[in-house]
């Protein structure tokens, strides 16, 4: 019947990952997979994809998926159940708790990875029908400070600019944004502007990241001190008569207070330099550049938002744009880069506990308006609990029933171990998930609901430039998976709210959401997509990417906001805000002398439930690590490639050490991606303090006082197996995706002889083991064969002579091995000349550092372009170009990189 067609049509959809919101063409292969390419017609990427987007096809397998509803039995074990039973359990469970303890004893915890339609239905159920505003989202950990800053300055949560501004700017300031790794396609657009038009780039980040090229100005600001820098800039602009007095007079209020405060915080360049730790000459250069350049875009992300002073940082930045009138015109403006694919959609529906719906707050007029529109019997009348407070209330037993959708809080919230324990206290924990296990599921759900995943979902997402794009299904729903909006609507119906939740399609939900945005709006609210409220199902299916505002009856002309100088405050004027004097929430102490900064790496996404499935992505930075400055490493006796225990008041981790001069002295950087599922001891969120910004409630994730100490393991090595394996005991391990199997990188204090005993247990009885033990040298190698097929490898050796796995991995990944290769496995080399390419730099073509260095040393390549011609590295998605440039530059000055 449904035989795979030879040339199935490509489906236009949107990338599963970041807020750039790239258009993707997915061509199903008829066997559950798909070929993925960039959509040349999508205005966010014009056909480009980064390494993560390009590898989406490697993440579609169903092995780790939750495919059926599950319910916890009397014996505490999870067992498969019917949708009917699962939905009844959720509906009755919530109704019981509400009846006994009131509406504020229940909560939803949502995510910027939900579709707008999922988000809308969940928000409506809680805020209009349950009668509580306890709906918060992982956007609280992500964009909340930008939202609060926008609302203080503009009276609305508006991102004024568009991506085209990045093509037209002459100065682009990246503040707390590692866009080269986190918004790669946008970063390539910035670099294209630099190359073509000579735009200048300034990067403000305590670390020298991949986003800093040699000729860029890098200001290694002391953690948390951005407000000082931008206060100093405001003072400089005022003192050098660079303010736009006419604009300030016509369109703003608050300059005097903001400037008086800025002078208190940062009276001059010397004071700014002293507090930020940045060289005074570099600060002067930045100030002069900003002053002299009309077309400036200031992009900011988590180095700004995720901070105990995040909202003030946002306003300190916006103050500089408002006071120079550089907003709402081509090539200029403050630009908050959103993280998740639908961070913006979540804000549009009101997914945050302090928003109601459609960019309306909890004023009486808005409550009345939304209540009438929804015909809601039970409107929430005040703000609900924000994420960190919400989980504290769970820990205290005040919240008794929680529904988590599309987020993994037992990894991603501060004090993640405490969060994981708190979840166990709930009377009812419902989790809607794509995967059958993660650290949150491991906390013990009562009901698990299988959700449609990327590739199966159907609805809309909004990117950083307010552009709404369709995510379209190109694969059938597997097992009994269902869209998230469907499960919420089903539960609502079972709670007695059938009329308001009789949805049968995403299109129907979208139309209602669009109608609410326009309801009694008349231009008073920024968010208005009334023009889309009457889309037919066909038109919704065919919808091209569209930017808001899209007001009914108004042509979509210039999509920048504030070009007319009108803002959404009561008096229509923008507000300059006086920030507080910034201070670290907790200064380093003798016990915890360093500051732990946490963030992202190029090829992993959050808790790795999707990106962790791709062998290509796993090759770039395969192990959880901590990066620190050579001086701090020397003081702690740490060596590059060794291990260290990082400790804070809240928890501890053991991570691989990377020593890098790009780190600021006194700072540690550790990625957030590894969890209890993917590593032995790398739950970095467990170390983070639960401190929040006073306005946004967003947690500080970049500056927790920490200590570091060396850890030595006697042996190091790796395991490759066809089935995923876990190690018990005190061994250190990290899981890595490999083709046709699973990999573990390991470190251990058990002697080689003990590993010989473990090999048989690891690979199972009845396999044929080829072994090699050199006890005096502490080296053991085993290859396991089943019917002549290589099914496992275990290599351990002394830490000074760690066996590398590249050649063995290549042999293992090949499905059928010729005899001579089979014999060669234990040598750790291939006889076919499969060279050890070294750590992977280019994920698209699997090109490693050794190959690149060889090409440079043999003079075959002297530039990044040559490397592309000889090895293809960097010629597909371009995500590795920043690293290639560093390697070439390093080789030129004879450095090792
Ligand atoms: N590869 C990849 N890309 C992603 C994601 C991912 O998981 N992986 N996640 C997406 C999501 S949800 C988000 S929110 C974005 C985040 O994107 P980014 O915000 O760019 O990423 P982060 O690495 O969290 O932090 C950015 C930088 O802030 C710096 N920083 C720390 N403290 C300070 C400070 O006090 N001041 C300043 N100026 N800088 C500071 C850090 O050193 C870091 O380099 O990325 C999105 N894109
Ligand atoms: N220390 C520290 N902590 C941080 C950060 C940091 O920089 N430092 N960054 C913060 C930020 S900005 C963010 S955005 C968060 C991200 O943190 P999380 O949201 O916790 O991380 P994810 O791995 O993206 O979790 C998404 C989960 O939802 C599932 N999922 C994906 N799509 C769907 C879907 O459509 N439906 C359903 N039901 N499930 C789905 C996935 O399988 C996965 O388990 O982490 C935050 N935490
Ligand atoms: S930049 Fe990369 S991760 Fe982000 S949307 Fe585009 S392809 Fe996806
Ligand atoms: Mo985020």
Pick from 565, 545, 547: which is nearest to 555 by CA? 547
Identify the residue whose C-alpha is closest to ligand 2 atom 47. 412
The DSSP secondary-structure symbol of 68 reads S
Asked if pLDDT for residue 1 goes beyond 80, the answer is no
Residue owning tokens 């390009």 = 54
Average pLDDT of span 554-582: 91
Q: Given pLDDT bands bounded at 50, 70 and 90, which one contains residue 447?
A: very high
β-bridge partners, 461: 469
- Euclidean distance between CA atoms 730 and 211, whole angstroms: 37
Tell me which fold the domain 840-896 belongs to.
Arc Repressor Mutant, subunit A (1.10.10)
| 603 CA → ligand 3 middle, Å | 11
Question: 3-class DSSP state for residue 308?
Answer: coil
Strands 704-711 and 715-721 come out as unpaired
Q: Output the CA 411–ligand 2 centroid distance in Å.
A: 8
User: Is residue 397 predicted with pLDDT exceeding 60?
Assistant: yes
Residue nearest to atom 34 of ligand 2 (CA): 406
DSSP code of 355? -
Does 448 contact ligand 1 (Cβ within 6 A)?
A: no
Q: What's the whole-number mean pLDDT along residues 576-597?
A: 96
Four-way CATH pick for 594-711: 3.40.50.12280, 3.40.50.11540, 2.40.40.20, 3.60.21.10: 2.40.40.20
Position in ligand 1 atom list of the atom nearest CA 178: 20
CA of 686, nearest ligand number: 2
Atom of ligand 1 nearest to the CA of 597: 31
| Ligand 1 centroid to residue 430 C-alpha, Å | 30
Tell which atom from ligand 1 comes closest to the C-alpha of 138. 12
**Contact criterion met (CB below 8 Å) for 47 and 40:** yes
| Separation CA 733–CA 682 (nearest Å) | 10
299 within ligand 1 shell (Cβ under 6 A): no
Residue 20 Cα: closest atom of ligand 3 = 5
Q: What average pLDDT does range 702-712 have in this prediction?
A: 98
Give how far Cα 361 sits from Cα of 311, 318, 358, 411, 627, Å. 18, 22, 9, 30, 42
Spatial separation of the C-alpha atoms in residues 278 and 271, rounded to whole Å: 10
Checking DSSP bridges between strand 428-433 and strand 447-450, what pairing results, if any?
Answer: parallel
Looking up tokens 């800039």, which residue turns up?
Answer: 233
Residue 2 φ then ψ, to 5°: -90, 55
Closest CA to ligand 2's atom 11 = 142
For residue 296, what are the CA distances in angstroms to 165, 215, 286, 344? Answer: 9, 18, 12, 23
Say yes or no: CB of residue 598 within 6 Å of ligand 1: no
Nearest to 221 by CA among 234, 233, 205: 205
Which tokens go with 514?
């669009």
202: buried, middle or exposed (CB in 10 Å: 19+, 13-18, 0-12)? buried
State the alpha helices, DSSP H only, in 357-444: 364-374, 387-395, 409-412, 416-423
Please, which pLDDT band fits residue 827 given cuts at 50, 70 and 90? Answer: confident
pLDDT digits (tens, 9 = 90+) for 201-243: 999 999 999 999 999 999 999 999 999 999 999 999 999 999 9
Counting ligands in written order, the one closest to the CA of 138 is 2
Angle at the Cα of 176 (from 172 to 178), degrees rounded to 5? 75
CA of 304 to the centre of ligand 4 (A): 12
- Ligand closest to 310 (CA) is 1
Task: Report yes or no: 204 and 299 within 8 Å, Cβ to Cβ.
Answer: no
**Ligand showing the shortest atom-to-Cα distance for residue 337:** 1
Q: Which ligand is nearest to the CA of 163?
A: 3
Neighbouring CB atoms inside 10 A of 818's CB total 11
Phi and psi at residue 444, to the nearest 5°: 105, 80
- Looking at ligand 2, which atom is closest to the CA of residue 608? 23
Residue 295 pLDDT: 98
Confidence of residue 832 (pLDDT cuts 50, 70, 90): low
Give, in order, the Cα–Cα distances in Å from 865 to each of 503, 845, 870, 885, 888: 53, 15, 9, 10, 10
Distance in angstroms (rounded) separating the CA atoms of residues 79 and 457? 25
Contacts of 605 (CB under 8 A, 6+ apart): 17, 52, 611, 673
Q: Is the separation of the CB atoms in 248 and 255 below 8 Å?
A: yes
The number of the ligand 2 atom at minimal distance from the alpha carbon of 143 is: 12
Q: What does residue 461 show for φ and ψ, rounded to 5 degrees?
A: -135, 155
User: What is the residue with the minimal CA distance to atom 18 of ligand 1?
Assistant: 177
Show the tokens assigned to 487.
Answer: 């499960």
Name which residue sits closest to atom 7 of ligand 1, judged by CA: 605
Pick the ligand that lies closest to the CA of residue 404.
2
Contact between 411 and 438 (Cβ < 8 Å)? yes
Which superfamily does 144-336 belong to?
Answer: Dimethylsulfoxide Reductase, domain 2 (3.40.228.10)
Distance CA 297, CA 163 (A): 10
**Ligand 1 within 6 A of CB of 187:** no
Ligand 3 pocket test target in 59, 184, 604 with most atoms within 8 Å of CB: 184
Gap from CA of 881 to ligand 1 centroid (Å): 19
Rounded Cα distance between 67 and 642, Å, is 40
Indicate the CATH number for domain 93-142+342-547. 3.40.50.740
Mutation test of ligand 1: which of 15, 59, 172, 176 has the most ligand atoms closer than 8 Å to its C-beta? 176
Encode 810-869 in three state secondary structure.
Answer: HHHHCCCCCHHHHHHHHHCCCCCCCCCCCCEEECCCCEEHHHHHHHHHCCCCCCHHHHHH
Q: Which residue puts its alpha carbon closest to atom 17 of ligand 2?
A: 412
Give the distance (Å) from ligand 1 centre to CA of residue 279: 23
pLDDT at position 405 is: 98
pLDDT 10s digits, 316-327: 999 999 999 999
Give residue ranges with CB within 6 A of ligand 2.
111, 113-114, 138, 141-142, 302, 306, 339-340, 405-409, 411-412, 432-435, 438, 451, 453, 457, 484, 598-599, 606-607, 609, 672, 684-685, 688, 701
> Atom 2 of ligand 3 has which residue's CA nearest to it?
50
Q: What atom of ligand 2 comes closest to residue 16's alpha carbon? A: 32
Phi/psi region, residue 788 (left: phi>0; alpha: psi -120 to 50; beta: rest), is left
Query: 111, 112, 108: which is closest to 491 by C-alpha?
Result: 108
450: tokens are 């299988």
List the structure tokens of 646. Answer: 């990082």
Output the CA torsion sign for 544, 547, 548, 553.
negative
- Examine the pLDDT at 806 and tell me if it is beyond 90: no
Summarised one tens digit per residue, pLDDT across range 841-888 is 888 888 888 888 888 888 888 889 999 888 889 888 888 888 888 888
Residue matched to tokens 């403006």: 333
Tokens read off for 26: 């997915």
Q: Where are the domains of the chain?
A: 93-142+342-547, 144-336, 594-711, 715-827, 840-896
Confidence band, pLDDT 50/70/90 cuts, at residue 895? very low
Q: How far apart are CA 35 and CA 58, in angstroms?
A: 9
pLDDT at residue 777 tops 70: yes
Ordered alpha helix ranges (H), 183-244: 184-197, 226-239
Residue 375: how many CB atoms within 10 A of its CB? 10
Q: Which of ligand 3's atoms lies nearest the C-alpha of 16?
A: 8
Tell whether the model's pLDDT for residue 372 goes beyond 50.
yes
* Ligand 3 cavity residues, CB under 6 Å: 15, 17-18, 20-22, 45, 49-50, 52-53, 183-185
Q: Could you tell me how many residues make up the chain?
A: 897
């Amino acid at each position: 019947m449904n035989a795979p067609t030879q040339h199935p049509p490509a489906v236009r959809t949107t990338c599963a990952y970041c807020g750039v919101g790239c258009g993707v063409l997915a061509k199903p292969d008829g066997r559950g997979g798909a070929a993925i390419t960039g959509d040349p017609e999508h205005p966010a990427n014009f056909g480009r994809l980064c390494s993560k987007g390009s590898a989406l096809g490697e993440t579609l397998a169903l092995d780790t998926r939750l495919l059926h509803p599950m319910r916890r039995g009397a014996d505490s074990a999870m067992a498969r159940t019917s949708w009917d039973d699962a939905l009844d359990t959720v509906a009755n469970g919530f109704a019981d708790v509400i009846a006994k303890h009131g509406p504020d004893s229940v909560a939803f915890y949502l995510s910027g990875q939900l579709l707008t339609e999922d988000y809308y239905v969940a928000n409506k159920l809680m805020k209009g029908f349950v009668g509580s505003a306890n709906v918060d989202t992982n956007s609280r950990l992500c964009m909340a400070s930008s939202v609060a800053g926008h609302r203080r300055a503009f009276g609305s949560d508006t991102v004024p600019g568009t991506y085209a501004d990045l093509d037209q700017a002459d100065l682009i300031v990246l503040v707390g944004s590692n866009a080269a790794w986190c918004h790669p396609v946008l970063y390539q657009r910035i670099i294209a502007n630099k190359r073509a038009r000579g735009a200048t780039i300034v990067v403000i980040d305590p670390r020298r990241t991949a986003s800093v090229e040699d000729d860029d100005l890098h200001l290694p600001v002391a953690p948390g001190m951005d407000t000082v820098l931008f206060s100093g800039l405001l003072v400089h602009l005022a003192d050098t008569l660079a303010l736009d007095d006419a604009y300030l007079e016509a369109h703003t209020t608050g300059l005097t207070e903001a400037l008086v405060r800025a002078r208190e915080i940062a009276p001059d360049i010397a004071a700014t330099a002293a507090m930020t730790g940045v060289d005074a000459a570099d600060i002067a250069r930045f100030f002069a550049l900003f002053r002299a350049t009309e077309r400036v875009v200031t992009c900011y992300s988590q180095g700004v938002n995720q901070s105990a002073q995040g909202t003030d940082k946002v306003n300190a930045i916006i103050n500089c744009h408002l006071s120079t009138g550089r907003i709402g015109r081509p090539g200029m403006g403050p630009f908050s880069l959103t993280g998740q694919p639908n961070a913006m959609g979540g804000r549009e529906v009101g997914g945050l506990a302090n928003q109601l719906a459609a960019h309306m707050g909890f004023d009486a007029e808005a409550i009345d308006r939304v209540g009438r529109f929804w015909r809601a019997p039970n409107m929430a009348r005040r703000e609900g609990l924000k994420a960190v407070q919400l989980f504290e209330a769970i820990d205290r037993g005040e919240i008794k029933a929680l529904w988590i959708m599309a987020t993994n809080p037992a990894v991603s919230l501060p004090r993640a171990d405490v969060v994981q324990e708190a979840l166990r206290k709930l009377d009812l924990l419902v989790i809607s998930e794509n995967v059958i296990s993660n650290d949150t599921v491991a906390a013990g759900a009562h009901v698990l609901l299988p959700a449609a995943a990327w590739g199966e979902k159907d609805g809309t997402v909004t990117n950083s430039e307010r552009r709404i794009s369709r995510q379209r299904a190109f694969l059938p729903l597997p097992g009994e998976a269902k869209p998230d909006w469907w499960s919420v609507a089903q539960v609502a119906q079972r709670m007695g709210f059938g009329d308001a939740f009789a949805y049968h399609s995403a299109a129907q939900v979208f139309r209602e959401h669009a109608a609410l945005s326009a309801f009694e709006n008349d231009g008073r609210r920024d968010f208005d997509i009334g023009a889309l409220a009457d889309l037919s199902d066909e038109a919704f299916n065919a919808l091209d990417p569209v930017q808001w505002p899209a007001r009914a009856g108004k042509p979509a002309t210039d999509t920048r906001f504030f070009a007319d100088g009108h803002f959404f405050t009561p008096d229509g004027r923008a507000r300059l805000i006086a920030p507080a004097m910034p201070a670290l929430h907790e200064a380093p102490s003798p016990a915890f002398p360093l500051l732990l900064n946490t963030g992202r790496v190029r090829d992993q996404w959050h808790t790795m439930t999707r990106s962790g499935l791709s062998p290509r992505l796993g090759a770039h930075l395969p192990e959880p690590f901590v990066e620190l400055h050579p001086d701090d490493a020397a003081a702690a006796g740490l060596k590059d490639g060794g291990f260290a225990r990082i400790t804070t008041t809240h928890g501890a981790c053991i991570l691989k050490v990377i020593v890098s001069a790009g780190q600021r002295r006194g700072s540690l950087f550790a990625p957030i991606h590894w969890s209890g599922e993917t590593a032995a001891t790398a739950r970095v969120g467990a170390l983070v303090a639960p401190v929040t910004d006073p306005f946004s409630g967003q947690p500080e994730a970049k500056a927790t006082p920490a200590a570091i100490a060396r850890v030595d393991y006697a042996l190091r090595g790796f395991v490759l197996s066809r089935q995923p394996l876990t190690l018990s005991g005190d061994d250190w391990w990290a899981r890595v995706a490999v083709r046709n199997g699973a990999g573990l990188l390991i470190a251990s204090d058990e002697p080689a002889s003990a590993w010989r005993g473990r090999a048989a247990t690891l690979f199972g009885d009845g396999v044929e083991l080829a072994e090699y033990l050199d006890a005096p040298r502490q080296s053991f190698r085993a290859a396991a064969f089943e019917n002549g097929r290589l099914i496992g490898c275990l290599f351990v050796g002394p830490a000074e002579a760690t066996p590398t796995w590249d050649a063995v991995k290549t042999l293992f990944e090949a499905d059928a091995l010729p005899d001579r290769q089979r014999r060669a496995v234990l040598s750790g080399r291939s006889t076919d000349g499969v060279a050890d390419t070294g750590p992977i730099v280019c994920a698209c073509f699997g090109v490693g550092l050794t190959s690149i260095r060889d090409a440079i040393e043999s003079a075959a390549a002297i530039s990044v372009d040559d490397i592309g011609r000889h090895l293809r590295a960097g010629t597909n998605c371009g995500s590795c170009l920043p690293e290639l440039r560093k390697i070439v530059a390093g080789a030129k000055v004879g450095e090792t990189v």
